[in-house]
Chains A and B, each alone.
Chain A
Amino acid sequence: MLTATKAFCGCPNRFGDAPNSNVCPVCLGLPGTLPVLNRNLVEYIMRMGLATGCRITPRSILARKNYFYPDLPKGYQISQYEEPICVDGNLEIELEGGAKTTVRIKRIHMEEDAGKLIHDQGPQTLVDLNRCGTPLIEIVTEPDLRSPREAYHALILIRQMVTYLGICDGNMEEGSLRCDANVSIRLRGETALGTKTEVKNMNSFRNVERALEFEIQRQTDLVSSGGRVVQETLLWDADAGCAYPMRSKEEAHDYRYFPDPDLVPVLVDQAWERSVRDALPELPVPRRDRYERAFGLPRYDADVLTAERPVADYFEQTLTALQTLRPGDGAALAKPVSNWVMTDVLRVVAEEKVDVASFPIAPVRLAAMIGLILDGTISGKIAKDVFEAMLTSPAEPKAIVQERGLVQVSDGGAIAAIVEEVLTAHAAQVQQYLGGNERVFGFFVGETMKRMQGKGNPTMVNAVLKVRLAARKG
């Protein structure tokens, strides 16, 4: 979760700090300390619950899950068992080709994370407790996912939702989004699911898919050859491309959950629920649909633009700014803005690994530049150069265009003079054209543009060339 502090104490909730630098007596589990629940964690989990159609439990409690392991100094993890805060929701996932399927959410509960163990450096296990006590929400789905691909799409949607909701950065590599997958198989036509195994340790979306493919195949081979699936936990090894049984010295699963006497119940009344619901942002799927509906964008554009919230925000801010400059054009401006964001902004974002939110060209400046194209001041081609210049200069696009003499030449007389020069200089090609080879037309356009340093208004250059060539036909 993107809270500033841990779930039950005021230590920073931050990844990547020096070992054991974000710890205090509470998260170290020292005797005599008392946990106090972070209010933002409750708000954040309610956001996810409400966004997925869950019922918010009016009274929920925190429980202790008891086990011994060195990443858990208290000897128990504070979690929720009975009465989790969110229950009975659903996710609608969309597969390639547009088929939709609904995945029921059984519950979403809050809990604290454990510390981090490092096993491969030296003869002992190293323990870093910075992560100990950092807040998590666990989303438990019903067994509704039928293929690794569906699981992949469900995860992508969950990441999209949590990032839109601003509750998690969704980074699987850093472990802010994790997936423990239960896998079971059954014969076609059978209703009961077979014995399940749990696969862990997949640190990318692609690896989730691969691990599930592997495990389904493993179980299928096992059952086909007369074997039986045993309930166990497997760890995915991405390099080896296989999952192997976890052989940890952790005790058998007998967690003896009971209500944590250190923490009081969480009561959510209608007013609180309503305030969280009212503050929910527009979610990715409705936003994508709105882009198609209100802006008339192709589905592809709508998908790309709404995949990540900062990109969608950037797109809409640019569009709004451009609509202010050109009030009459309305939704017709969406496509040009979409083109610039998808091809140019996202290209630079990918190449330079910058954040869209802090992109060097702010939405207002990009809008001003697109405005210059639309009012004929610069050509689309010149605009690419202006865009490049704007990446390193804070100047307004208009100033850049003037300073560099990039204003498009739309003066018919000036264009005609150059066109005449070109046609005179290339008499042979003119003869070819007049003889029926229309492909040389492009050559004339290129030559004219070259002489005009690319500043000729392309529409006018085309038109003037046509007229002057036609005149030569005699």
Chain B
Amino acid sequence: MSVTPKDVDHVARLAHLSFTDGEKQRLTSELNTILSYMEQLNGLDTEHVEPLAHVIELANVFRPDVRTPGLAADDALQNAPGRSDDFFTVPKVIADR
């Protein structure tokens, strides 16, 4: 499996990132290096190895269903890029019909 500049475009778009052509070239080759490194793992027999979702062996960490103090709206909105009354504002994200 190898990464093409088109794959880089796709992933960049999903991550809301934009790159110059030079950066794309570099990333393509870097990602390919990482993939080929990971490729080595395919040489191992993992037939009887449980998939690992976490490196720490903890489970069932819960919170009781009890309220804890949060932030006042003013504090929550302090770093907002845009504000109208107590709402965050963003450019319109739905097309008008």
Chain A contact residues, CB within 8 Å of chain B: 3-5, 8-12, 18-25, 27-28, 36-42, 59, 61, 66, 68-70, 117-119, 122-129, 244, 247-251, 254, 256, 259, 261, 263-267
Interface residue from B54, B85, B87 paired with A264 (Cβ < 8 Å): B54
A20–B76 CB distance below 8 A? yes
A4 with B65: CB separation less than 8 A: yes
Residues of B contacting A263 in the complex (Cβ-Cβ under 8 angstroms): 61
Is the beta-carbon distance between B87 and A11 smaller than 8 angstroms? no
Alpha-carbon distance between A27 and B63 when the two chains are bound, in angstroms: 15
User: Quick check: B63 and A127 within 8 Å, CB to CB?
Assistant: no
Rounded to whole Å, the gap between the CB of A411 and the closest CB of chain B is 62
Q: Does A127 lie within 8 Å of B67, measured CB to CB?
A: no
Contact string against A for B residues 49-86, beta-carbon threshold 8 Å, 1 for contact and 0 otherwise: 00001101011111111111111110011000010111
> Is B90 a contact of A124 with CB atoms below 8 Å?
yes
Count A-B contacts at CB 8 Å: 141
Question: How distant is the Cα of A24 from the Cα of B67 in the complex, in angstroms?
Answer: 11
* Beta-carbon nearest neighbor of B77 in chain A: A20
Flag whether B89 is at the interface (Cβ < 8 A): yes
Contact A18 B73 (CB under 8 A): yes
Answer yes or no: B26 CB below 8 A from chain A CBs. no
B interface residue numbers (CB < 8 A to A): 10, 13-14, 16, 53-54, 56, 58-73, 76-77, 82, 84-95, 97
Measured between alpha carbons, how far is A10 from B54 in the docked complex, in Å?
24
Within the complex, the shortest CB–CB distance from A33 to chain B, in Å, comes to 12
Q: Are B61 and A249 in contact (CB under 8 A)?
A: no
Given contacts A248-B94, A265-B53, whether A22 and B89 have CB atoms under 8 Å apart is no
A18-B86, A20-B76, A38-B63 known; A125+B71 contact, CB < 8 A: no
Question: Roughly how many angstroms separate A28 CA and B90 CA in the complex, as a whole number?
Answer: 15
The verdict on A249 contacting B65 (CB below 8 Å), with A20-B86, A122-B84, A127-B88 known, is: no
Supposing A36-B63, A37-B62, A38-B63 touch, asked if A11 and B70 sit within 8 A by C-beta, the answer is yes
Cβ contact of B66, chosen from A5, A20, A259, cutoff 8 A: A5
Bound-state Cα–Cα, A20 to B77, Å? 8
A23 B14 Cβ-Cβ under 8 A: no
Docked-complex contact A28 and B76, CB < 8 angstroms: yes
Minimum-distance CB pairs A-B, first 10:
A10-B68, A24-B70, A39-B62, A126-B87, A259-B53, A127-B88, A40-B65, A247-B95, A36-B63, A124-B89
Known: A23-B71, A61-B53. 4 other contacts (CB 8 A): A24-B68, A39-B62, A39-B65, A244-B97
- Inside 8 A of B88's CB, which chain A residues have their CB? 20, 70, 126-129
Residue of B nearest to A116 (CB): B87
Given the known A-B contacts A20-B86, A37-B61, A122-B84, are A69 and B93 also in contact in the complex, defined by CB atoms under 8 Å? yes
Q: CB < 8 Å: which of B61, B68, B87, B94 contacts A9?
A: B68
Distance to closest chain B CB from A144 (angstroms): 31
Q: Do A128 and B87 touch across chains, with their CB atoms under 8 A apart?
A: yes
In the complex, which residues of chain A have a beta carbon less than 8 angstroms from the beta carbon of B72?
A: 21
- Please tell me if the beta carbons of A123 and B54 are within 8 angstroms of each other in the complex: no
Q: Which residue of A lies closest to B68 (CB)?
A: A10
Query: Contact between B92 and A124 (Cβ–Cβ < 8 Å)?
Result: yes
Report yes or no: B76 in contact with A264, Cβ–Cβ below 8 A.
no
A160 to chain B, nearest CB (A): 24
Chain B residues in 8 Å Cβ range of A22: 70
**From residue B42, how far is it (CB to closest CB) to chain A in Å?**
19
Contact (Cβ within 8 A) B14 A254:
yes
Q: Is the CB of B53 within 8 A of A119?
A: no
Is the Cβ of A11 less than 8 Å from the Cβ of B54?
A: no
The answer to whether B67 touches A5, judged by C-beta atoms less than 8 angstroms apart, is yes
Distance between A410 CB and nearest chain B CB, rounded to angstroms: 57
Cβ contacts A to B, 11 pairs, < 8 Å: A10-B67, A10-B69, A18-B73, A19-B85, A21-B73, A28-B71, A126-B84, A247-B97, A248-B94, A263-B61, A267-B59
Evaluate whether A12 and B67 lie within 8 angstroms (CB atoms) in the complex, with A70-B93, A125-B93 already known. Answer: yes
Contacts A20-B73, A265-B54; A119 near B87 (Cβ below 8 A):
no
Q: Is there an interface contact between B65 and A42, defined as CB atoms closer than 8 Å?
A: no
Q: From A127, which residue of chain B is reached at the shortest CB distance? A: B88
